């Protein structure tokens, strides 16, 4: 089908000289993803208003901490961040600029967790890392002037999935009090082979936008195969969770021209039906994580929208 992409996105493609998509197996995609990320981030600079530190949580788990350089006497909110990349690609470097922008703009402390990736590490390895990273961050709140009452999980694409999966684990473990909210930006929430029956008629995007920019049905199928989670696993594909009614407040970003558009829309519906406070931003005519290439939404300020979404979480 013809993709009704916005003019602002088409200008990005013109400047690139191509429509960015990823091909091959997961490891080939990792290299392509890294190359595009390096191109995007080539001119990025470290903010002078932040202290940025790489730390080791355990022998096998690392993180990057972004702390406003001007220390407020009042403890700051803390966002535990998970990068995107289909569970196979990306690292703390690829979304370094975005983490800086959120930490500086809110302001807050961001702890970006370097979780293990597929295909080398199948599920549940990355879920274990996500929980371990969160637990360390929460238990060390006083170390970096973090407010233990204002912790939130945040991530984009596969990282948005991990933020939701973390909330699900915390609820299941009786630790809901630790998490104020979830900011899930263009998240993966379901497997197209196992959509809950009540949402089947609403889930059209995987086929409708199979050849979209930045994310394709082929890429998603490769990522699903690589991570190795069962399509019916309620701990991984969170639309199947039995804990949705206990979820914290959730902010969801949906990209319109995206195979996983309906993941976000269906998740928003499910949480609403469960009585969870939610906020949704749906960007018409724009592809998966369009903001990574500095494409402007109609509002003109994607970061401002995200900061508003996080403030929604903090006020619930």
Residue 260 pLDDT level (bands cut at 50, 70, 90): very high
Contacts of 79 (CB under 8 A, 6+ apart): 102, 103, 106, 108, 109, 110, 111, 151, 152, 153, 154, 183, 310
8 is catalytic: no
Name the β-bridge partners of 111.
Answer: 65, 80
Q: Which of 178, 183, 187 is nearest to 239 (CA)?
A: 187
Confidence check: pLDDT of 46 > 90: no
Tell me what the mean pLDDT of segment 108-128 comes to: 98
Residue 299 has pLDDT above 80, yes or no: no
Indicate the pLDDT class of residue 298, thresholds 50, 70 and 90.
confident
pLDDT class for 64, splitting at 50, 70, 90?
Answer: very high
Nearest-10 crossing angle of helices 96-105, 302-314 = 60
96, 129, 256, 258: the active-site residue:
258
157 catalytically annotated: yes
Instruction: Say yes or no to pLDDT of 72 above 80.
Output: no
Both structure tokens of 172:
């299941």
**In angstroms, rounded to a whole number, what is the distance separating the alpha carbons of residues 183 and 190?**
17
- Cα angle 285-287-288, degrees, rounded to a multiple of 5: 145
Catalytic member of 83, 161, 268, 288: 288
What is the share, in percent, of the chain residues with pLDDT greater than 90? 94
pLDDT at 120: 98
pLDDT of residue 35: 96
Q: Residue 107 pLDDT more than 80?
A: yes
* Residue 245 is among the residues annotated as catalytic for this protein: no
Q: How confident is the model at residue 56 (pLDDT cuts 50, 70, 90)?
A: very high
pLDDT, tens digit (0-9, with 9 covering 90-100), for 206-237: 999 999 999 999 999 999 999 999 999 999 99
Please say if the pLDDT value at position 274 is more than 90: yes
- pLDDT at residue 211, as a whole number: 98
As a whole number, mean pLDDT of residues 140-169 equals 98
Q: How confident is the model at residue 7 (pLDDT cuts 50, 70, 90)?
A: very high
The residues near 312 (Cβ < 8 Å, ≥ 6 apart) are 181, 249, 251, 277, 279
pLDDT, mean of residues 200-210: 97
Query: CA 123, CA 231: separation in Å to the nearest integer?
Result: 12
- Whether residue 112 has pLDDT greater than 90: yes
Q: Residue 44 has what pLDDT?
A: 83
Stretch 178-191: mean pLDDT: 99
Q: Is the pLDDT score of 1 beyond 80? A: no
The band of 300, judged by pLDDT with boundaries at 50, 70 and 90, is confident
CB half-sphere exposure, 279, CA atoms < 13 A: 18
pLDDT(263) > 90: yes
The two tokens of residue 233 are 């696993």
pLDDT band at 246 (very low <50, low <70, confident <90, very high): very high
Q: What pLDDT is recorded for position 128?
A: 98
Mean pLDDT check: name the lowest of 23-32, 102-111, 157-166, 297-306: 297-306
Average pLDDT rounded to a whole number, residues 114-122: 98
Residues 180/154, Cβ–Cβ less than 8 Å: no
The one catalytic residue among 6, 101, 123, 157: 157
Mean pLDDT of 153-163: 99
241 pLDDT more than 80: yes
Mean pLDDT of 130-157: 97
pLDDT band at 2 (very low <50, low <70, confident <90, very high): confident
């Amino acid at each position: 089908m013809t993709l009704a992409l916005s003019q602002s996105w088409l200008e990005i493609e013109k400047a690139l000289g191509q429509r960015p998509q990823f091909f091959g197996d997961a490891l080939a995609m990792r290299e392509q993803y890294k190359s595009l990320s390096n191109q995007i981030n080539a001119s990025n600079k470290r903010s002078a208003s932040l202290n940025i530190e790489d730390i080791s949580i355990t022998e096998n788990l690392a993180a990057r901490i972004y702390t406003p350089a001007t220390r407020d006497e009042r403890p700051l909110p803390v966002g535990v961040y998970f990068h995107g990349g289909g569970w196979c690609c990306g690292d703390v470097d690829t979304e370094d600029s975005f983490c800086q922008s959120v930490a500086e703009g809110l302001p807050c402390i961001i702890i970006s967790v370097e979780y293990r990736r597929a295909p080398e590490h199948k599920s549940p390895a990355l879920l274990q890392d996500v929980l371990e990273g969160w637990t360390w961050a929460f238990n060390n709140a006083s170390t970096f002037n973090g407010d233990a009452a204002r912790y939130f999980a945040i991530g984009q694409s596969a990282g948005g999935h991990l933020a939701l999966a973390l909330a699900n684990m915390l609820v299941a473990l009786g630790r809901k009090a630790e998490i104020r909210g979830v900011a899930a930006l263009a998240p993966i929430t379901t497997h197209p082979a196992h959509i809950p029956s009540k949402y089947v008629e609403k889930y059209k995007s995987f086929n409708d936008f199979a050849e979209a920019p930045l994310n394709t049905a082929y890429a998603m199928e490769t990522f699903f195969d690589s991570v190795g989670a069962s399509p019916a696993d309620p701990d991984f594909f969170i639309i199947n969770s039995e804990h949705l009614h206990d979820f914290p407040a959730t902010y969801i970003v949906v990209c319109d021209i995206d195979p996983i558009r309906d993941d976000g829309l269906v998740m928003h519906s499910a949480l609403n039906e469960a009585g969870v406070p939610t906020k949704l931003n749906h960007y018409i005519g724009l592809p998966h994580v369009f903001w990574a290439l500095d494409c402007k939404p109609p509002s003109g300020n994607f970061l401002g929208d995200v900061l508003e979404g996080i403030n929604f979480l903090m006020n619930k």
